[in-house]
Amino acid sequence: MKSALITGITGQDGSYLAELLLGKGYAVHGLVRRASMFNRSRIEHLRPDATSPGRQLYLHYADLYDATSLRRLVGQVKPDEIYHFAGQSHVGLSYEIPEATCQEVGMATLSLLEILRDHNRPVRLYYAASSEVFGNPSQSPQNEETPFRPVSPYGCAKAFAAQLCRTYRTAYGMFVSTGIAYNHESPRRGENFVTRKITVAAARIKLGLQKEVSLGDLEARRDWGYAPEYVEGMWRMLQAERPDDYVLATNETHSIGEFLDAAFGHAGLDWHDHVKFDPRFVRPAEVNLLCGDFRKARERLGWEPATRMDALARLMTDADVEALSAPPNKVP
């Protein structure tokens, strides 16, 4: 039985990857932070009774800021693979908390690389980079050879960590693969991300629970894919013979206005009647040309996206309508 450690297992990607790996017979270990309130809704359905003899999901308390706890956890778990997702992941918020973003995204990755360099057995590491490393790129679509030109603290931190992964792979022969994943969404996306904010609003307006939603720049364009398909590509990277960097994308770009058309239209609404512009949601530096070329992932990993933007907006809207229409859980 293979074992894997997922940092950020309670997030969107971590939860979908945990499902995938459990389905493949892995023993899955997840890093979680201790907090006064549980934030495990995305993985709660994966947690069987602790007394079950077939239990393959284990959660461990540790913290990205604490290299000692990370080192101890890797030594105890002895994973074959590590998938590193954890860290502050909201681009807009990175302007408000740039130091924390750089610590969690950049320096924590350096700590993990050093831990694995000293580890007594080889471990395959997946690092979750982002299309934000390209910022305002010199070419479109972007591929693995496109120079990094980040324009946000988040993008800078991701670029720093991605370069570190390349350096450790070259200098120490470590199996470190980096996925340069473009925006990938799902019903498990946090509501502070624009796609989920839109689909929740469409569902609530359809059900008469609210009347309008405030958004920023509707002309901003993104390459949007479906998160469960992307974690399949991440897993494939660590099954390859050699480590490398791969773009995961759809090679299509759509505006926020187009996403509104798809989500609100599917709900039988005209978004022009419900969307208000709010300058608070306009970033200090916006990226407008992010579109990824996934040919390398298709040729070497056999991976390509199946769900495009329109279908993605519809399935997310349907999921939010269903969730909001469900009766509240009865308290025993």
Residue 130 annotated among the catalytic residues of the structure: yes
Q: Are 253 and 221 in contact (CB under 8 A)?
A: yes
Residue 132 annotated among the catalytic residues of the structure: yes
Q: Are 270 and 264 in contact (CB under 8 A)?
A: yes
Q: Which of 19, 81, 132, 229 is catalytic?
A: 132
> 108-118 and 67-77 helices cross at what angle (nearest 10)?
40
Q: Are 101 and 112 in contact (CB under 8 A)?
A: no
Q: Are 216 and 260 in contact (CB under 8 A)?
A: no
Residue 315, C-beta contacts closer than 8 angstroms, at least 6 positions apart: 187, 226, 307
Q: Which of 16, 126, 154, 182 is catalytic?
A: 154
Q: Which of 15, 94, 130, 131 is catalytic?
A: 130
- By the 10 Å C-beta count (0-12 exposed, 13-18 middle, 19+ buried), 126 is classed as buried
> 153-172 and 108-118 helices cross at what angle (nearest 10)?
10
- CA nearest 293: which of 301, 302, 304? 304
Task: Tell me how far apart the alpha carbons of residues 315 and 267 are, in angstroms, rounded to a whole number.
Answer: 11
Task: Tell me how far apart the alpha carbons of residues 182 and 130 are, in angstroms, rounded to a whole number.
Answer: 6
Residue 154 annotated among the catalytic residues of the structure: yes
Q: Are 151 and 285 in contact (CB under 8 A)?
A: yes
Angle (nearest 5°) at CA 190 between 33 and 187: 120
In DSSP terms, 30 is beta-bridged to: 6, 59
- By the 10 Å C-beta count (0-12 exposed, 13-18 middle, 19+ buried), 90 is classed as middle
Q: Are 22 and 28 in contact (CB under 8 A)?
A: yes
Hey, which residues are catalytic here?
A: 130, 132, 154
